[in-house]
Each structure stands twice: as structure tokens, then as C-alpha cells.
A and B are shown apart, each in its own frame.
Chain A
Amino acid sequence: MVFPFVVGIWVTAGILIGFAVPPIHDGNLILRTRQIAFFHVPMAIAMEVAFLMAAWYGISWLRTRQPRYDALSLAYAEVGTVFCVIATITGAIFARTNWGAYWSWDPQQVGIVTTLLTYAALFALRGAVEDEDKKRNLWAVYAIIGLIVAIFSTMVYRRLLPDNATLHPSNTVITSDALNKFALWFNVIGYIMLLVWMAKLRSRFEMASQRLREVQWA
């Protein structure tokens, strides 16, 4: 019961630090609404971690046949999708203040929406299977496919294009001064801890609902 309070204090401190850092420069420009970067970037990184964990627990289910691994895999994918939605919305707000439009079909924006739609499709496919074991086996494969799509569309695709094809800043905060770097990584750790808490919580509900279904059909 200590972990949730550690997460609570850490994330609150992260928000306060994000508002206390000096301006961030992107080339000759000073990024406006820079505070959102300390929320948007950690959310995007935590999203990738979530999809990685979903694939990892999917493989664990295939190896051990422990239903709790399937529940954890599903939970990480669901929480990762929520983080993906938040990263998309905060990215659009950032784009509006810095580039003048919420949506400009930037490769990074297209990539994150591709990830979002992929996971939406995978959840629908999982929901369409009735047999519990078949559902878990297929989901493990879906989680691996989802991870590949997420990595390609949010991390690789943009880098395959010419430099002027995207407006999205690249390593701007990471190559900024020490205080900005500290604020970024402090928030990354905080939101990954939040991800772990939320995913474990979600998996407990999933396990309880599985148990109730078993009791109902027994």
C-alpha cells in the first residue's frame, strides 16, 4: 500500500518541477508551452514501455500458461492505449501553440494515431473470440504485433524520412540543459511507476472478473 503514495508524491513533485524549469530552445526558437513537454514526452515513453510489457507478459502466458500473465498483458496494453490517447491530445495542444495547427499530418502524429488504431483493432479482435484459451493465445500474438507496429510507427518511421519532413522536435529536451534533463527523466520515472500501478490494478479486476465468469459457468 506504500507504492501508490510514492507514485502520488513523485508525480506531484514532477508536475511542480516541470513548471519551474528554464525555457527550452529548439534551434533559435523558444518552445512555447514547454511545460507540456514534461507530461507529453514521459507519457509517450511510458506508452512504449506499456506495449513492451504487454508483449513480454503475452510471451510469458505462452510459456507458462498462467492466466495472470494474460491479465497483465491485457492490462498493460489497455493502460498503454490510454497513455497513447493522452500523448496524442497533449501533442496536438503543443502543435497548436508552436506550429499554429492542432493537426498537420506530421509523420509523428500519423504514427501515433496508427498505433492507437492498431491497438483498438487488436482489442476488438480479442473481444470477438469466446474460447478463453484461444483468446489468450491469440492475444499474446496480437501483443507482439502491436509492439512492432508501435515501435515502427512512433520511433522508426519519422527517422526514415528527410529531416524537413517533420516539425516534431527531436531530442530537444534531452540535449537541453541539466535542469530540463533532470525534470524530463524525473517525470519519465514517475509516469512509468504510475503505469505499473494502473496496470496491476487493472489486471486484478480482470482476474476477479475471470474468476466470476468461471463460477458462473461452473
Chain B
Amino acid sequence: MSTDLMFVLAVAVITWGGVFFYLLRLERLARNLEQQVGDDLTPRPASRHGKGESEDQQ
């Protein structure tokens, strides 16, 4: 493998590493946010008027 190709490979792996760890950070953030707003994303029955969850909350 040429030096140029090694360089491109290194850039690709480092970039992907950055994206991956940022996504992991967002994953943690989402979990904290869900705990704070009390939302575990479990399906809830829809209302008869088609308002879904928003009406249940009000």
C-alpha cells in the first residue's frame, strides 16, 4: 500500500472515529434528556379524536 493510500486510510479511520464517539455522546445525551422529560418512548394508545399523545398530556 502506497504512502498516499495509507494517509487517506488514516484520515478515513480518524474521521469515522470522531463521528462514532460524537454519536455515542449524543446517545448518552438522549438518555439523560428522556429521563428528565419522563419519556421512555413506549407506545401509548391514541385518542379517539386522533390527537395522539398530545391530547393525553393536556
A residues with a Cβ closer than 8 A to B are 1, 4, 7-8, 11-12, 15-16, 19, 35, 39, 64-68, 132-133, 136, 197-198, 201, 204-205, 207-208, 210-212, 214-215, 217-218
A217 to nearest B CB, angstroms? Answer: 8
Asked, given contacts A65-B50, A68-B43, A133-B52, whether A19 binds B5 with beta carbons under 8 Å apart, the answer is: yes
Asked, given contacts A198-B23, A205-B30, A208-B39, whether A133 binds B16 with beta carbons under 8 Å apart, the answer is: no
Name the interface residues of B12-40: CB closer than 8 Å to any CB of A: 12-13, 16-17, 20, 23-24, 26-27, 30, 33-34, 37-39
- What residue of chain A has the Cβ atom nearest to residue B24's Cβ? A4
4 cross-chain pairs, A with B, having the tightest CB-CB distances, nearest first: A65-B46, A214-B57, A204-B30, A211-B37
* 17 residue pairs from A and B, CB less than 8 Å apart: A4-B27, A11-B16, A16-B9, A19-B5, A35-B8, A65-B46, A67-B53, A68-B41, A132-B54, A133-B51, A197-B23, A205-B26, A210-B53, A211-B38, A211-B53, A217-B58, A218-B58
The secondary structure that dominates the B interface is helix
* Choice from B9, B17, B58 contacting A214 with Cβ under 8 Å: B58
